Structure 1
């Protein structure tokens, strides 16, 4: 006999439109479900929890999520719920071409329809790899079903010949060393084995770890979720506790719209500055806010991040990795530090039912070389910087904690690459007219241009510059860069070149000024010359590679508003579906 009592629930659950009653339609839905050996009392009014799992063997960061889903199920059963695991679209950062970002919106749309059209009362969002976290949060914001995030966690530290190896960060570092003649190709191949030595996502503060931190800072994951290593037993405990919690969230009707307020986004923006988070967080958070109907702009990113010191000493900005961050106390310590500095909306509600401050006020920092005191911060102004000017009328972003301070104010001659293929064809040419004072400019790599806005903005430097011992130059593009990357890199330049933005008409030899303290990015030509060039510009034309590519090109918005599809913005809710079977 079941101990569950449907009368305990304050209202009729959405899933009962499918499973509750003795009519033909309800028997149809229940009957087919029972072919899996499910007992009748699972359909007696307890909440149906969809475990939306981005597991895929072609998404290596998420390849361990099947095991974690079993722990979520344990928690749901313990709390009186009925768990159903649902595989959903999984966009792999390391495998998808032309780029996983091309498919973030497709994943969000597919997951939204899975939530909307099936008998789920609440959802556990099982994510990890870069785009899986924002895409499922976007879907949850659109449907507004009670939802909670559990991430797969970062992989263990890598080591190569006694040196910590950060996934992604050392890929760029070692690759540049090979081009500079400082590392052999054989050593590079040997180092490969140390870069990804356990299940999990990037062990640096790349986009995966950043978005796990954003989910927690938004209040959409249980406190402490972001940093637990994938293979640590406490990651399984977190999954099980998450399963328990979602059942109570359904009972309380605690929805994303109750949590994702403007204050929650401001908390997350400041958290991103404190952790030295990925610039990709900007574009994803703008998209999530657009789905829930919150007015969030690039100006909010600059305003909220301007005075936040970067206190997490992790690659690519610092020296440690996610394993040490967890041992030091993880994100709760950072959030507590923000609260103590007056940089936190303490009363922001979280999925736990508690306020953000109540969750973190008693945590302890166990390693002040990993989570630094404010007076020893990596940079005192670590938030994402937004620069504007005639080269980026709608804004561009830069991550100061990963940049070279001396280059944050710089004027240099433009060396222009029309697209990524042009860059690849010319960058190693010894005849290329370039030196370390130049500004590298890459066009046609934005949401429409690549298409999809690939992570190519951190262009590798030319070998002849690397051989001088130079490791950084100013680089400007409408592309993104990996959260694991570093350098003085101006990204997301809007409007993008493929949409006729000023970036499209930059020419070799033009002088460009970057002035980060004054938030300025300027192309040194007259207004009349710029207008004449733009008047003579015409877009590239190429047939779309697929039906979705056509849809994406026709409807994707600019990076400055989150690069979502225009028709997907706003919370549409999840009306109960009835059919005529």
Structure 2
């Protein structure tokens, strides 16, 4: 029988082996659990404070059944759970902390392979980042989206309709009591956002990377087939351990290229850039901001899903799910790069390629938009880059020159945006500073600023908005994000003033502040760096070590994996 990593704990016959086995036996495990079989860690991001992941306790039990059937020894362990809906100041601040939790929990324990149970936005990248840094056989079981929201005879999408309803209440188009009633109508089952928000984007990301069994991304959380997937994943991880199919064999450059192209085809969140870049950094794959434009910006949009379209994840699943997208893109993808099945996508999707609803999944011969993806902008306002999602933006604003209306902080924005004396109209460009990785800190999803009330009352639904922050994948609009370098470290964004003119030219990938180089230099010389918001603990460490958005906002000392070396015995 093969000697597994866990044998360094359970395979010993000395004092240390006695200790490791004896204390585990207080949970009632029989002797043959320690007979050299693979130990499978089930990394659970369950928490009642993370509503999207609150059903993962049940999913873990199903995974265990599969592990036992395949002759493995499943051991569940928790890590910090990150819920975008409740956690302040932003779950993104703690993505790297959760990745460290996952990494050290995996490395320090008798684990031969790991199953990552994920759901809400940051739980997917954080666990994958941590697992990538250890490099053991790894499979992901996404928690799945909620069922479609239903309100007053229409489907409503999480996040996407929140922004719409909030604007409608502000302008009197929607009654406050209807707004309150819609809460229960939107979130009516277990699962994460059912729009193509960041959670759904991350589920599509891990499937396209090859880290899940085929079809995993779109299965609703409460569909019995989600449990089937979990069960089969439990079986498969045991075989992956026996095959020594480590995560580094799946996360190749070709796999990252696939994920970028698939993200374009499904209208995925701009947040993919931050998370995929960070994962690449952990596994040692070269990936830069330009790759997202070069590889993804010419890929057609095939999925008609909010916020870039009409439908929701439940509809995507019924239409055939991600295997259909992979098939439509097969001429653009690396279809034979290794996945967790040990095979390529070409073999994985056999028999799963038919679109059962062309209105939801369009054929590549007749796409919804000829060029989807994410555009990377550069210029004196974003020397290291900024991003925009054209499929969620207004075509008439893709080339625009407007007067800057500046909000120095998010508090400044909230205080001023609805002031009737604010000098702003629909031709202006809203600029929000100090919401980047260092400035907030944690880079919150506030880039899709709600428009001023007096602009909304004119019937205007979109304006150009620019910030160094992020926006929810559920959001929409002509929103320029991830400006790098950010304002808080002295990027040009820091010295933009009210009345400056800014040019946005998406076709030519340009973001330019119409101020002379000499004046920009003078302003920067007089600029003063804001005081850090924390002088202790993790947040202080984060501020000192976080990389900029174009590098994935990981902590600089976490880039590059350190392998699965077993810690020394402590007794």
| TM-score, normalising length: structure 1 | 0.97
CA distance in 2, matches of 1:552, 1:449: 11
Which of 189, 195, 202 is the aligned partner of 1:198? 189
CA drift of 1:577 comes to: 2.3
Aligned residues: 570
CA distance in 2, matches of 1:16, 1:542: 47
CA distance in 1, matches of 2:444, 2:389: 17
1:378-389 equivalences under 5 Å are 378-389=368-379
2:266 aligned with 1:275:
yes
CA drift of 1:331 comes to: 0.5
What is residue 71 of structure 2 aligned with on the other side? 80
CA drift of 1:580 comes to: 3.5
Q: Counterpart of 2:424 in 1: which secondary structure?
A: coil
CA distance in 1, matches of 2:155, 2:251: 37
CA distance in 1, matches of 2:365, 2:456: 33
1:102-251 equivalences under 5 Å are 102-251=93-242
CA distance in 2, matches of 1:144, 1:535: 46
CA drift of 1:180 comes to: 1.6
Which of 324, 343, 348 is the aligned partner of 2:337? 348
Which of 498, 504, 516 is the aligned partner of 1:526? 516
What per-residue deviation string (whole Å, max 9, x for no partner) do you get for residues 408-459 of structure 1?
Answer: 1000000000010000000010110000000000000000001100000000
Which of 490, 495, 501 is the aligned partner of 1:500? 490
CA drift of 1:542 comes to: 3.6
CA distance in 2, matches of 1:474, 1:199: 35
What is residue 564 of structure 1 aligned with on the other side? 554
CA distance in 2, matches of 1:428, 1:545: 34
Task: List gaps (5 residues or longer) in structure 1.
Answer: 1-6
Q: Is the 8 A contact 1:56 1:63 kept in 2?
A: yes
CA drift of 1:546 comes to: 4.5
Q: Is the 8 A contact 1:494 1:501 kept in 2?
A: yes
CA drift of 1:50 comes to: 0.3
What is residue 3 of structure 1 aligned with on the other side? none
After superposition, the CA RMSD in angstroms is 0.9
What is residue 294 of structure 2 aligned with on the other side? 303
CA distance in 1, matches of 2:535, 2:205: 33
Q: In structure 2, do the counterparts of structure 1 residues 204 and 543 end up closer, same or farther at CA, with 3 Å as the change threshold?
A: closer
CA drift of 1:372 comes to: 1.1
Which of 409, 412, 433 is the aligned partner of 2:399? 409
CA distance in 2, matches of 1:374, 1:511: 39
CA drift of 1:361 comes to: 4.4
What is residue 397 of structure 1 aligned with on the other side? 387
Q: Counterpart of 1:332 in 2: which secondary structure?
A: helix
| TM-score, normalising length: structure 2 | 0.99
CA drift of 1:226 comes to: 0.2
What is residue 543 of structure 2 aligned with on the other side? 553
Q: Counterpart of 1:374 in 2: which secondary structure?
A: coil
CA distance in 2, matches of 1:406, 1:373: 26
1:398-547 equivalences under 5 Å are 398-544=388-534, 546-547=536-537
2:378 aligned with 1:370:
no
What is residue 38 of structure 2 aligned with on the other side? 47
Structure 1 stretches (4+) deviating beyond 4 angstroms? none
Q: Is the 8 A contact 1:181 1:467 kept in 2?
A: no
CA drift of 1:68 comes to: 0.4
Q: Is the 8 A contact 2:490 2:527 kept in 1?
A: yes
Q: Counterpart of 1:539 in 2: which secondary structure?
A: coil
What is residue 62 of structure 2 aligned with on the other side? 71
What per-residue deviation string (whole Å, max 9, x for no partner) do you get for residues 506-564 of structure 1?
Answer: 00000000000000000001111111111111100144064001100010000000000
Task: List gaps (5 residues or longer) in structure 2.
Answer: none
What is residue 282 of structure 2 aligned with on the other side? 291
Q: Is the 8 A contact 2:329 2:364 kept in 1?
A: no
What per-residue deviation string (whole Å, max 9, x for no partner) do you get for residues 73-122 of structure 1?
Answer: 00000000000010111111111111000000000011100011111000
Q: Counterpart of 2:329 in 1: which secondary structure?
A: helix
